[in-house]
Amino acid sequence: MAESMKDFEKELEESYKVMGDGEKDTDTLLAWEKIKELYAEQATLDVTVSGIVNKGVIALVEGIRGFIPASRLSLSHVDDLNPWLGRELKVRIITADAENDKLVLSAREILKEERDAQKKLKVAEIKEGEVLTGKVETIKDYGAFVDLGDGVSGLVHISQISLDRIKHPSVVLKEGQEVQVKVIGNKDGKISLSMKALLQEKEEEEEAKKQAEQEGPVEEKDMAFISVSIGEGINEIFRSLGVDEIIEGGQTMNPSTEDILEAIEKVHAKSIFILPNNKNIILAANQAATLVKEKHVIVIPTKTVPQGIAALINYIPENTPQENEAAMKAEIENVKSGQVTYAVRDTIINEKEIKRGDYMGIGDSGIISVGKDRDETLKEMLSKLVDEDSALISLYYGDEITEEEAEKVGAELGELYPDLDVEVNYGGQPVYYYVISVE
């Protein structure tokens, strides 16, 4: 609730008349010195409300009575002060006037900071592609703001409300209405939402179901593959090697057990091989396999994309599922993998000092190279992966690397390792500039 400075000062005067003046003995003077230090530091203090006075409450700080105006107790207006007696609060000093014995405290600023921090955390957790439920908060000419909880809201632009063109959001929506929305953007704390995307997906699902009914039952294959992938180019490579269903994944978006179960449901085969291609996804894949009873699900514990590719290359259709499982598990042990990315913070890992923004070469066993130059970091990592038995280096470049840059690096690797074949492929993966394999 807004208050003028004049009203606030009047409020303090009236309250301090009730509280009275304290004697300035030695202990009091020392207490005020400590209070001044806390005030200068803008420290957060834990206090207990010990009394109620005119238009506020009092609490002791270093033995000195501090006044907390009713308007500074909460983020909302406080009418009844009685429930606040004995309550513990976190406060900050906003006035420390030893000469006039005026000590004023406030909890509102800290509550606001906590609320803003919670809101920031909530915003960061919201990912593109998520489907959320919220309530229409306000309606504008250009769209509607939807309350997503914890003080977070997002905008459904008028073009994203309906499949049909509408003149105003109020044609479809009203304030307080509960709606389902899909997150289509989260940039700089601004969340873009869509109802239209969900309607389109529903239409597509219904159309696919209708088409499936018309086409009749899908013929069941003997064996099929499900693979987790990390980029557009990698997707195409997996498809060319016979993968039936691709699950989008990556460093910041590991699929869940439910995601893997949905993929299994889509594949019509007696035996299904799952390639997690990430050590963090293997557990979810194994859990999904145990939950499926009507299909034979086999998890090949691939920890990297190169291992997944190697497993697919060594699949032999004529062999039994058990024979293929054994062969693929044996082959992935012969693949050495590496990834080049960047550090997001200063740290020390495996006795390597890493600064924010440094490039890192991450192998199967952890970080094996760190540097200021991206390509040199890649080369250093490779030097520790290549041995006398190596025959092939496969390089998959990410979405921040141009084809020209990748081909240049590939040529340099060819000069460094003239006895090895070097293949350069578009991976399209985010986060990782390069994903490599050495076989």
What percentage of the chain exceeds 90 in pLDDT? 58
Helices (H), 267-304: 282-291
Please report how many Cα atoms fall inside a 13 Å half-sphere around the Cα of residue 439, on the Cβ side: 21
Dihedral sign, Cα of residue 385, residue 388, residue 389, residue 394: positive
pLDDT digits (tens, 9 = 90+) for 397-414: 988 999 999 999 999 999
pLDDT digits (tens, 9 = 90+) for 91-126: 999 999 988 889 999 999 899 888 888 888 888 888
pLDDT digits (tens, 9 = 90+) for 372-400: 999 999 999 999 999 998 999 999 998 89
pLDDT at 13 over 60: no
pLDDT digits (tens, 9 = 90+) for 162-195: 988 899 999 999 999 999 999 988 887 788 999 9
Please give the average per-residue pLDDT across 200-229, as a whole number.
84
- Own/partner pairs, 227-230, CB within 8 angstroms, 24+ separation: 227/274, 227/275, 227/277, 227/308, 227/312, 228/255, 228/275, 228/276, 228/277, 228/278, 228/281, 228/308, 229/277, 229/305, 230/277, 230/305, 230/427, 230/429, 230/430, 230/432, 230/435
Q: For the full predicted model, state whether its pTM sits above 0.75.
A: no
Domains, the chain, ranges and CATH?
A: 5-113 (2.40.50.140), 126-199 (2.40.50.140), 220-331 (3.40.50.510), 336-438 (3.30.1180.10)
CA 393 to chain centre: 33
What integer pLDDT is reported at residue 217 of this predicted model?
A: 65
What integer pLDDT is reported at residue 2 of this predicted model?
A: 43
Helices (H), 156-222: 196-215
What integer pLDDT is reported at residue 435 of this predicted model?
A: 92
| pLDDT band at residue 90 under the 50/70/90 scheme | very high
Please list, in sequence order, all residues whose beta carbon lies within 8 angstroms of the beta carbon of residue 413, skipping any fewer than 6 positions away: 379, 382, 393, 395, 422
| pLDDT band at residue 7 under the 50/70/90 scheme | low
Task: Answer left, alpha or beta for residue 143, where phi above 0 means left and psi between -120 and 50 means alpha.
Answer: left
| pLDDT band at residue 12 under the 50/70/90 scheme | low
pLDDT digits (tens, 9 = 90+) for 318-328: 999 999 999 99
pLDDT digits (tens, 9 = 90+) for 133-160: 999 999 999 999 999 888 888 899 998 9
pLDDT digits (tens, 9 = 90+) for 233-274: 899 999 999 999 999 876 556 889 999 999 999 998 999 999
Asked if 248 contacts 229 with a C-beta cutoff of 8 angstroms, the reply is: yes
Could you give the CA distance from residue 291 to residue 311 in angstroms, rounded to a whole number? Answer: 24
Could you give the CA distance from residue 225 to residue 243 in angstroms, rounded to a whole number? Answer: 5
